[in-house]
């Protein structure tokens, strides 16, 4: 790992391929509607529109992910979030909607990353590699002045 180079972790090809496959099915349905005696032009137009939206979603997904810099993790999503390594308290793995994701636990919030992910066991090797890369990057760049400021486990809620 080069200490001063930026590293980018993008959304998996599986997520992008899912959108393209969905667009293909929509186009097949549109074709079936177009050649069917009972098909309507409005139905064909709707299916082609949904297919086009799936292609746009696939291209948008490719721009999402996380960029590791020596100073911070740059999380690219709907909006770009800059998370300085000195504020990160832990790099955790979490199961969310049957998908393994990486979570950055900061001083005031937890931030779920869009990449890397693994779902239903697909992409486990890639996920593990990128999860460890993010963790090692954090350990190497959090700085000598870093101290844990947040307990690892939240206090138990009072009974009653």
- 159 lies in some domain: no
Ranges of H-type helices in 5-143: 13-35, 41-62, 124-141
* Claim to verify: residue 34 and residue 78 sit in the same structural domain: no
Res. 45: pLDDT tops 80: yes
Strand partners, 72: 84
- CB environment 32-52: b (16+ within 10 A), e (fewer): ebeeeeebeeebbeebbebbe
Sign of CA dihedral 44, 14, 110, 140: negative
Q: For residues 92 and 103, give the distance between their C-alpha atoms in angstroms, rounded to a whole number.
A: 5
Residue 156 — pLDDT band, cuts 50, 70, 90? very low
- Whether residues 71 and 121 share a domain: the answer is yes
pLDDT at residue 14 greater than cutoff 60: yes
Within a domain: 132: yes
Question: Looking at the structure, do residues 53 and 110 belong to the same domain, yes or no?
Answer: no
- Does 118 reside within a domain? yes
Is the pLDDT reported for residue 94 higher than 60?
yes
Of the pLDDT bands very low, low, confident and very high (cuts 50, 70, 90), residue 68 is very high
In a domain, 45, yes or no: yes
Q: Are residues 88 and 48 in the same domain?
A: no
In 62-106, DSSP assigns E strands to 65-68, 72-76, 80-84, 88-96, 99-106
The residue-averaged pLDDT of 92-98 equals: 81
Report pTM: 0.74
Q: What is the pLDDT of residue 144?
A: 83
pLDDT at 160: 43
Q: What are phi and psi of 66, to 5 degrees?
A: -140, 140
pLDDT band at 3 (very low <50, low <70, confident <90, very high): low
Which contiguous run of DSSP H or E holds residue 114? Answer: strand 110-119
**Percent with pLDDT over 90 in the chain:** 28
Q: Would you say residue 16 has pLDDT above 60?
A: yes
Q: Total structural domains in the chain?
A: 2
Its domain, for residue 132, covers: 65-141
């Amino acid at each position: 790992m080069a200490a001063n180079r930026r590293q980018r972790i993008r959304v998996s090809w599986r997520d992008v391929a899912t959108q393209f496959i969905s667009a293909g099915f929509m186009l097949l349905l549109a074709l079936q509607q177009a050649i069917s005696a009972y098909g309507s032009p409005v139905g064909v137009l709707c299916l082609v529109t949904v297919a086009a939206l799936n292609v746009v979603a696939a291209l948008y997904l490719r721009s999402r992910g996380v960029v590791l810099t020596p100073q911070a993790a740059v999380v690219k999503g709907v909006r770009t979030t800059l998370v300085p390594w000195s504020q990160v308290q832990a790099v955790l793995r979490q199961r969310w909607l049957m998908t393994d994701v990486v979570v950055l636990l900061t001083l005031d919030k937890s931030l779920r990353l869009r990449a890397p992910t693994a779902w239903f066991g697909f992409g486990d090797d890639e996920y593990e590699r990128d999860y460890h890369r993010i963790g090692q990057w954090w350990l190497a760049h959090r700085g000598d002045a870093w101290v844990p400021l947040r307990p690892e486990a939240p206090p138990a809620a009072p009974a009653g």
